[in-house]
Amino acid sequence: MTRRPHHHPVMGLLRRLDGWARAAFPAASTALLMMLAAAPAGLPSAVPSVALACIFFWTVFRPAAMAPPVCFGIGLLQDLLGFAPLGIGILTLLAVHGAALRLRRFLARQPFPMVWLVFTGFAATASALGFLLQAALNWRVPPPTLGLVQFALSAGLYPPLAALLTRLHKAMQRAETLG
Amino acid sequence: MIRLSIPLRQALSRLSLPVLIAAAFGIMLLGKADTALVGRARMAVADTLAPIYGVLAEPLNAVRDAVQELRFLAALREENLRLREENERLHRWQAAALALEAENAMLQRQLSYIPEVKASFHTARVVADAGGTYARAVLLATGPGNTIAKGQVALDERGLAGRVTEVGSRSARVLLVTDMNSRIPVVLEGSRGRAMMAGTNGDRPRLQFWPEGSPPREGERVVTSAEAGVFPAGLPVGVVRWTEGGAAEVELFARLNRLDLLRIFDFGLSGILPPEAVARPEPRQRH
């Protein structure tokens, strides 16, 4: 690799570190939020919902930092944190990522309620896909209410999560225009 | 770092999603084919995260305790009245229990009854919900050098909560009795009829396969059965509740939606089934 000319080597290194930190932030914060969501709260597990919302948000607004391998890793983490058959989280999240990537040009320009509406569609599809895969891999049909609870949790969690992530995303954008 | 031409890089990035989706299917097959490997991977993740969960659990518990404290303060008067009444009732029961204990000891002496070995137990903190959407399980932080083993029985302060299904070096996973894959041999205390208690992922597991002619009665106590050599006989499980739809369910004594400490008992029982065998319901018994 050829080094780009920098006026000061230390400044160049710092800038590159800063760039890496920003590139890694979406994945790292998603993993952290998922771990927080696994805390025992007496509620149904919010881990899949958190992963879904974060993947969707970063795919739409910062696709460079949410590449397919990152989605794969987050899906694997989701599957390992839970008790479900391996692969369900990976497949669902990759499908959501792929679909959101196709719609991102349209979605990035929409007001929040519209994005939320589209997200609920994604959440419904993802819950249905997860339910079907669960039934297929365990060879037993789980109670349908669980799929509905999962969907409701995803749809309900999106606005607060998106509000938080939007702030972080805006802060990163400001840092980028300054740098 | 290798420098790739732009069209090649674009082609690679377009290919990565389908390749990874294929890999996801591959992992699904692998997970079905080698459950032991998946278990080890899960416990490796759980072991890594257990200390973090342990730290996170502290403030969360503090918040939960504070909320509970406020609720207690609000209901102090009624609570006190209720407790007074309950205490009086329990005093009467205590007298009855002491009398029965003495009588039991006397009868055991006369029958030269072989006493069961005293069980040893460890208490461990519940640090994470390890179930996800379609399973009911919790993760325990056990600390290094624990003697917890697969198949041991977990009880909260009131009754049966679940069984240890996976053990790591710093954590253990407990499958709760409400999970779909949980099948527990139980005895209906009134009729001594045997039955299976099957989890449904809901709050109340269902009773199945009771002997014909003696259906479980509403409010009857359900205790564990020593049938399969997995549980000792007589651990408190719950009471029978009939639903409007005509299904017999068990209202558990254990409060599974607010577990914070679990006692893991080692009853020294060897008839432990591997988890994949537990997943299959027992064949119906003929009586």
Angular region, B216: left φ>0, alpha ψ -120 to 50, beta rest:
beta
pLDDT at B126: 87
pLDDT at residue A2 is higher than 70: no
What are the chain A neighbours of B140 within 8 Å (beta carbons)? none
Residue of B nearest to A72 (CA): B20
pLDDT at A147: 87
Chain A, residues 77-136, CB within 8 A of chain B, namely: 77-78, 80-88, 90-91, 94-95, 97-98, 130, 133-134
pLDDT at residue A64 is higher than 50: yes
Q: Which of B171 and A178 is assigned the larger pLDDT?
A: B171
pLDDT digits (tens, 9 = 90+) for B66-111: 888 888 888 888 889 999 999 999 999 999 999 999 898 888 888 8
Residue of A nearest to B137 (CA): A83
pLDDT at B39: 86
φ/ψ of residue B77, rounded to 5: -65, -50
A interface test, pick of B133, B171, B176 with most A CB neighbours within 10 Å: B133
pLDDT at B100: 92
Express as a percent the part of chain B with pLDDT over 90: 25
What are the chain A neighbours of B54 within 8 Å (beta carbons)? none
Of A37-41, A67-71, A151-155, which gets the smallest average pLDDT?
Answer: A37-41
Query: Which tokens sit at B43?
Result: 């416990």
Confidence of residue B237 (pLDDT cuts 50, 70, 90): very high
pLDDT, mean over chain B: 84
* Separation CA B142–CA A175 (nearest Å): 43
Q: Do A83 and B173 touch (CB under 8 A)?
A: yes
Tell me how close the Cα of B96 comes to any Cα of chain A, in angstroms: 37
Task: Tell me the pTM.
Answer: 0.77
Please check whether residue A105 is in contact with residue A118, taking contact to mean a CB–CB distance below 8 angstroms. no
* Separation CA A84–CA A135 (nearest Å): 11
Q: Which of A75, A60, A63, A69 is nearest to A118 (CA)?
A: A60
Q: Do B45 and A80 touch (CB under 8 A)?
A: yes
Please classify residue A174 by burial: count the beta carbons closer than 10 Å to its beta carbon, then call 0-12 exposed, 13-18 middle and 19+ buried.
exposed
Residue of B nearest to A127 (CA): B133
DSSP codes of every residue in A6-38: -S-HHHHHHHHHHHHHHHHHHHHHHHHHHHHHT
Please check whether residue B44 is in contact with residue B166, taking contact to mean a CB–CB distance below 8 angstroms. no
Please check whether residue A155 is in contact with residue A56, taking contact to mean a CB–CB distance below 8 angstroms. no
Query: Which tokens sit at A144?
Result: 């349908």
pLDDT at residue B162 is higher than 80: yes
Tell me the average pLDDT across B149-169.
89
Confidence of residue B149 (pLDDT cuts 50, 70, 90): confident
Nearest CB among A36, A75, A84 relative to B56 is that of: A36
pLDDT digits (tens, 9 = 90+) for A113-141: 999 999 999 999 999 999 999 888 888 88
Q: Do B25 and A35 touch (CB under 8 A)?
A: no
ipTM over 0.85: no
* Separation CA A179–CA A20 (nearest Å): 13
* Separation CA A43–CA B179 (nearest Å): 15
pLDDT at A43: 63
pLDDT at residue B58 is higher than 90: no
Q: Which of B221 and A9 is assigned the larger pLDDT?
A: B221
Is A71 within 8 Å of chain B by CB? yes
Q: Do B3 and A1 touch (CB under 8 A)?
A: yes
* Separation CA B50–CA B127 (nearest Å): 7
Q: Which of B256 and A54 is assigned the larger pLDDT?
A: A54
Tell me how close the Cα of B211 comes to any Cα of chain A, in angstroms: 26
Q: Do B132 and A94 touch (CB under 8 A)?
A: no
Q: Which of A137, A104, A136, A140 is nearest to A122 (CA)?
A: A104
* Separation CA A99–CA A117 (nearest Å): 15
Distances in whole angstroms, Cα of residue B187 to Cα of each of B136, B225, B233, B237, B251 = 23, 5, 8, 10, 14
pLDDT at B280: 41
Q: Which of A178 and B207 is assigned the larger pLDDT?
A: B207
Nearest CB among B16, B28, B52 relative to A68 is that of: B16
Tell me how close the Cα of A90 comes to any Cα of chain B, in angstroms: 6
pLDDT at A126: 94
pLDDT at B71: 84
pLDDT at A44: 64
Residue of A nearest to B125 (CA): A40
